[in-house]
Amino acid sequence: MIEIKNISKSFDGFAAVTDLSLNIKEGQVFGMIGTNGAGKSTVLRMMSGVLKQDAGEILVDGEPVFEHPSVKRSFYFIADEPYFFGTGNPGDMEDYAAHIYPDFDREGFEKLLTTFELDPKRKISTFSKGMKKQLSILLGLSANTKYLYLDETFDGLDPVMRQGVKALFAAEIDKRGLTPIIASHNLRELEDICDTVGLLHKGGVLLEKDLEELKESVQKLQAVFSEEDAAMEIKGKLNIIKEECRGRLRTWTVRGSREETERIVREAAPIYYELLPLTLEEIFISETEVIGYDVKRLILE
């Protein structure tokens, strides 16, 4: 288990992360999502010991991370722009990773190189962005660590490779209980792979929740009422976080269970109503608009 307790980090007086806390359970895929500048990459760098937090603590299986090499062997960090030797090839990176991680699976790594059609002798400097990202992921999986930290994992991968990487994650989770922690702005990619998500904004945590539970706690309601008074009465009983009106059709994003929302709406005997599932992207937009991160305002400006 990874415990992040009230961490803060500033750069030249700018607060990148402020009093942030998260708990990441083992054997699950944790998605770290957030607005631009929310602090996702900074948090991952502190989790990996690349940066030291100014306050708070980060524990991996009960042990602090920074300046503790034995703890760092329990995770592998894949940055948004992975580092490779200037004139190195995949074989060189394999030797390097195997030196740091005693359980590195050389045979498995070489099989993956063949599967992904990556030449072990070709200079990495000649690889495309997507090929470099593939190589970094294969190295991370072959390190056989308990935790895998990934910053913008799917950026640069084509759709086929994305599905292949997701399949590898699923296989490793099933085989050895791997726990991937993925920071990304691509919510559609995370939606079908994550078990739990943490929503970051301006260096803090807006929410941390099981993804299915999160989806069940927010509803999209479309309804047409025969009278305005009925609509206003129901509106007062619902916890509405977003509202759109097109003629008589009202679209409300409502915080609450599907059953409770439907029960309240039925009381008004609407002409028409429908409850629709929300995507993770829609939930993200709704939650951030509540605290003033308005997409429409940004577009208009």
CATH of the domain at 254: 3.30.70.120
pTM, two decimals, is 0.83
Distance CA 95, CA 31 (A): 30
Chain-centre distance of CA 253, in angstroms? 22
Same domain? For 41 and 93 the reply is: yes
3-state DSSP helix/strand/coil % of the chain, to nearest 5: 40, 30, 35
Q: What is the CATH number of the domain that holds 14?
A: 3.40.50.300
The pLDDT of residue 82: 87
* Token couple for 48: 């990996």
Same domain? For 23 and 170 the reply is: yes
User: CB–CB of 60/44 below 8 Å?
Assistant: no
pLDDT tens, residue order, the chain (301 aa): 999 999 999 999 899 999 999 999 998 899 998 877 788 999 999 999 999 999 999 999 999 998 888 899 999 999 988 889 989 999 999 999 999 999 999 999 999 999 999 999 999 999 999 999 999 999 999 999 999 999 988 887 888 888 888 899 999 999 989 999 999 877 877 888 889 988 887 788 877 888 888 888 888 999 999 888 888 888 889 998 888 888 889 999 998 889 999 999 988 889 999 998 888 888 877 777 655 544 444 333 3
Cβ-based neighbour number of residue 32 at 10 Å: 29
- In the three-class reduction of DSSP (H, G, I as helix; E, B as strand; rest coil), residue 93 is classed as helix
Same domain? For 186 and 226 the reply is: no
* Contacts of 165 by beta carbon, 8 Å cutoff, 6+ apart: 134, 137, 153, 154, 157
Same domain? For 66 and 155 the reply is: yes
Last residue of a domain, one of 185, 209, 233: 209
The pLDDT of residue 17: 93
Same domain? For 146 and 272 the reply is: no
Query: What residue spans of the chain are helical by DSSP H?
Result: 40-47, 69-72, 90-100, 106-115, 129-142, 159-176, 187-191, 211-216, 228-237, 258-266, 280-290, 295-300
Sheet (strand 240-246) strand order: 240-246, 249-255, 218-224, 272-276
The pLDDT of residue 291: 54
Please give the residue range of the domain that contains residue 275: 217-300
Same domain? For 226 and 194 the reply is: no
Same domain? For 39 and 166 the reply is: yes
Same domain? For 49 and 182 the reply is: yes
Distance CA 275, CA 253 (A): 10
Phi and psi for 194 in degrees, rounded to 5? -85, 145
Same domain? For 164 and 245 the reply is: no
* Token couple for 219: 């509803």
The pLDDT of residue 299: 32
Number of domains present in the structure of the chain: 2
Same domain? For 131 and 279 the reply is: no
User: CB–CB of 48/215 below 8 Å?
Assistant: no
The pLDDT of residue 138: 96
Same domain? For 51 and 188 the reply is: yes
Last residue of a domain, one of 180, 209, 238: 209
Cβ-based neighbour number of residue 40 at 10 Å: 23
Distance CA 168, CA 161 (A): 10
Question: Which residues, listed in sequence order, are joined to residue 190 by a DSSP beta bridge?
Answer: none
Last residue of a domain, one of 161, 178, 209: 209
Distance CA 301, CA 296 (A): 9
* Token couple for 86: 């200037």
Same domain? For 59 and 155 the reply is: yes
Per-residue CA distances from 247 to 45, 87, 204, 221 (Å): 49, 63, 38, 15
